[in-house]
Amino acid sequence: MPRTDENGRQLKALLDYLLDGEIDAKDIFDALGISSSTYYRRIKESDYPNAEELRRVADRFQLSYPDLQIQFGLMSRQEVWNYVRAAESAEFGVSTLQETSTRTQVRHRPKLSDLTPRLDAPPL
């Protein structure tokens, strides 16, 4: 049995609700970057959706990743709050490197008209 949200909905049902419409399974497995057969196998597994799958869905549909993790019980609200506080305190306590500039060389391929046949290569 796959994970469900706080209201007992599976991921597809929650997305239908949040996005005010019927979301096709194709949209979900495209967001996950998996084939349809892998998707239909995954939705039956107990660890579906995992954190990485929620991140990909959140990115694709412009949803809040922490909210999805809370909805599916992967993190509590308190854990998210503690993480945000720790990130904020680390932001003020970390020294940063001075800005440095680096030069990168871009190498362009020659035009087809500039190429010549290799004399050491056998004919095709």
What pLDDT, in 10s, does the model give residues 65-117? 999 999 999 888 888 888 888 888 776 665 555 555 556 666 677 777 777 87
Q: DSSP string covering 68-88, please?
A: HHHHTTSS-HHHHHHHHHHHH
Residue 82 belongs to a domain? yes
C-alpha radius of gyration, the chain, whole number: 24
Residue 36 located in a structural domain: yes
State the helix-helix crossing angle for 25-32 and 11-18, rounded to 10 degrees: 110
Q: What is the dihedral of CA 102, 105, 106, 107, to 10 degrees?
A: -160
In a domain, 4, yes or no: no
* Number of domain units in the chain: 1
**Residues constituting the chain:** 124
**Residue 118 counted as domain residue:** no
Residue 110 placed within a domain: no
CA 96/CA 100 separation, integer angstroms: 11
Domain membership flag for residue 40:
yes
Model pLDDT, residue 103: 63
Position 5 in a domain: no
Q: Do the domain assignments include residue 53?
A: yes
Strand locations in the chain, DSSP E?
A: none
Contact criterion met (CB below 8 Å) for 67 and 44: no
d(CA 12, CA 14): 5
Answer with the residue of higher pLDDT: 55 or 100.
55
**Which pLDDT does position 13 carry in this prediction?**
93
Host domain of residue 32: 11-86
Q: Is the pTM of this model over 0.85?
A: no
Banded pLDDT at 61 (limits 50, 70, 90): very high
The pLDDT, as a whole number, for residue 87 is 83
